[in-house]
Structure 1
């Protein structure tokens, strides 16, 4: 069955095509035709989008949705001057280990519903709040029921029981934990930064994951520069995420690689930290993605529109660049070519904005303008 979507105020396709009066046809979950409404072929059904704006569905390429509990008190303390460090992760680890599968899945489902309501059509999620073999494995098994973009992050931080024994924990991660997690994961990730894992440890873990058939990505240079960007490029990581502290050599390396710089402005907002220099990255030719980094400690948001507004206001990118980074950029960070754009053959993932243009995503911060979200041509929200 084919469905024509018309009466569209404006449409962003992330291609070179531009239409004065756009329309599109969806068939079998994919875009079968896109062009001027006056030239639309016949379709079995019709959806009037009431003069609203259509954009590709947001692609959230970095999120941490497998957790229990919250850290509201930690956030409050930070807002009163306490410095951010990765230590608060341990609080979430304790709650996650104690949670049942049903509790973890209920929390995941709640957050996914929020994502869909905010126009996110594809999301990645990581483990990393179990930090033991059983909880990492079951977290990923639950996540895999909801997304194909699952990431093993056993190397988030060193858990309390391995304090001062980080090398022993690295051995656990790259052996028993990886073996248990790999059947449920597509990606492997390491938090390579101060207070987490050094470059040599990160290399060991990522190479073990690659050998096990997982593709690498990395948390890089959020708190300081310890060489994680260079490691990301060395191992052809799909993305280096955070990228707050960069040298000219780091930027050059990214610009001449296949590694996407994924920026997470919600984390800077929630930790009162310095924002990455997105302008410098884009001007150097680096591929940039925007993601929510949804997690209970340092970026508890599922709103990509909020992250777009932050990127425009605080990282000096244009509304068009921010939207591209939150759609096509995210797709590139997941090495996907079937999403992030609206063209014939692409998956029919798109969001409908109740506004005359996409600029309103940044122009009206804090307002959810998404009226409908379509995944494979099917309305998820109404």
Structure 2
């Protein structure tokens, strides 16, 4: 085991209110000791203990590594033409997923693995140290299992999303596809996954189908999460709360009843501003959710169709500019909020016993993540 002292931290965001003077537990002139990947000590730089090695960050701001709790980064091909069409007026519909399914089914394991590792390296360079990865671009037993197995090589947070859309070969027999997802496909993917997900949306799965998928996953020992309320008001949020989902993701169109249901539950509302950026849909109001007491997370939704970006700093900037969040709220949502969406208490925070995952910023304050959008402010990542 080796220990590392990170010292000279001008502004340390811990996300532990008790240790600092504000809600994000900010410490000034701070230091952290990481021992074998875990935080062993945290406090004033002047009181820091010795360690096997040290790193002086010369007044930089340091935050917990970003927790990206919603990605689709194991796939083949891209949909750049679809993006260009949307930018000139073609509306988004969920059916574009089938284009990626065809490319993904035709790809080899090595091709899928190479894309996944490339996107993972890209996200880490921008400060992401924990990342969820979904299946959902196979939609048959063989390919969904391949995607889950490959995703499990890089993360423990693998989500089975066989219920992404109904593939073309089952267009005339939706019930047979739901039976496949909840039966043979679930059994094959189960050894590699922690989560079960469903796209409860028009053009994807209706509430009854979605409930069947989630209940089958729960019975198999998987934890539920939901894609919901992306294209319009619908049943996704209410279903997520009903089954005790850790998170309902998108939440673009919410009724007052949806907000009330979320505020009375421990289901996290995960907002994906990269999707609104890419689809030209209205941005959801994070302020509305926060004022109702809902826990809010931010994630990239990195995928080839509607948010082909791995940049969590961009999500922070968009949330501040377009969704009514303060910079502090957005940074919390992209770190501790993402951890809540994954039901993790060892990431997204910096305290003794947590993972020693740090993003060192080439800036004096975390505010610069929103203040300087598009600038590569993460100068170094430790852990993850």
Superposed counterparts of 1:222-241, under 5 Å:
222-241=230-249
Residue 1 of structure 2 is aligned to residue 7 of structure 1:
no
User: CA–CA distance in 1 between the matches of 2:131 and 2:247?
Assistant: 14
User: CA–CA distance in 1 between the matches of 2:233 and 2:164?
Assistant: 17
User: CA–CA distance in 1 between the matches of 2:178 and 2:143?
Assistant: 16
Aligned structure 1 segments of 4 or more residues deviating by more than 4 angstroms = none
User: CA–CA distance in 2 between the matches of 1:165 and 1:265?
Assistant: 34
User: CA–CA distance in 2 between the matches of 1:341 and 1:309?
Assistant: 20
Native 8 Å contact 2:131 2:157 kept in 1: yes
RMSD over aligned Cα, in angstroms?
0.8
User: CA–CA distance in 2 between the matches of 1:172 and 1:319?
Assistant: 44
Other-structure match for 1:131: 139
Q: Greater CA deviation, 154-163 or 33-42?
A: 33-42
User: CA–CA distance in 2 between the matches of 1:288 and 1:209?
Assistant: 24
Q: Greater CA deviation, 210-219 or 161-170?
A: 161-170
Structure 1 unmatched runs, 5+: 377-382
Deviation at 1:368, TM superposition (A): 1.2
Return the match for 1:39 from 40, 47, 51.
Answer: 47
User: CA–CA distance in 2 between the matches of 1:45 and 1:365?
Assistant: 33
Return the match for 2:117 from 91, 101, 109.
Answer: 109
Return the match for 1:248 from 244, 256, 260.
Answer: 256
User: CA–CA distance in 2 between the matches of 1:152 and 1:13?
Assistant: 32
User: CA–CA distance in 1 between the matches of 2:222 and 2:235?
Assistant: 22
Return the match for 1:173 from 153, 168, 181.
Answer: 181
Superposed counterparts of 1:21-170, under 5 Å:
21-170=29-178
Deviations 1:212-257 (A, max 9, x none): 1110000010001221111100100000000011111111111111
Give the secondary structure class of the aligned counterpart of 1:59: strand
Native 8 Å contact 1:198 1:226 kept in 2: no
User: CA–CA distance in 1 between the matches of 2:277 and 2:59?
Assistant: 34
Other-structure match for 2:352: 344
Deviation at 1:43, TM superposition (A): 2.1
User: CA–CA distance in 1 between the matches of 2:245 and 2:351?
Assistant: 27
Structure 2 unmatched runs, 5+: 21-26
Matched residue count: 376
User: CA–CA distance in 2 between the matches of 1:148 and 1:43?
Assistant: 30
Deviation at 1:374, TM superposition (A): 1.1
